[in-house]
Amino acid sequence: MLARRILGIVLLVVGIALMAMGMHGSGSITTQIANAFTGHQTDSTVWYILTGVPLLIIGVGVTLDGFWHGRHGRVA
């Protein structure tokens, strides 16, 4: 169960990091110029955010699942 909690925390941290990189990248000069001409964010910014959100959600789910059920596993 400890390995599962660690995995959940790692996924949570990676998800937050990817979302932060995507949000930070959305304010960069390159992205602002691309957005001005095309009306869209750059592909890398979108991918960072779209990858970060599911990892964040899965990380929270896996981490909280471990806290909710403790050492005894799932309740039947």
Domain extents for the chain? Answer: 2-72
What pLDDT, on the 0 to 100 scale, is given for residue 46?
Answer: 83
Does 74 score more than 70 pLDDT?
no
What pLDDT, on the 0 to 100 scale, is given for residue 53?
Answer: 94
User: What are the tens digits of pLDDT across the range 6-60?
Assistant: 999 999 999 999 998 888 877 777 777 777 777 776 777 888 889 999 999 999 9
Only one residue has tokens 């995507």, namely 22
Tokens of 73: 């596993």
68 contacts 4 by C-beta, under 8 angstroms: no
C-alpha closest to that of 12 among 58, 72, 73:
58
Find which of 59-63, 65-69, 72-76 is predicted with most confidence, using mean pLDDT. Answer: 59-63
Mean pLDDT score, 59-71: 76
What pLDDT, on the 0 to 100 scale, is given for residue 68?
Answer: 63
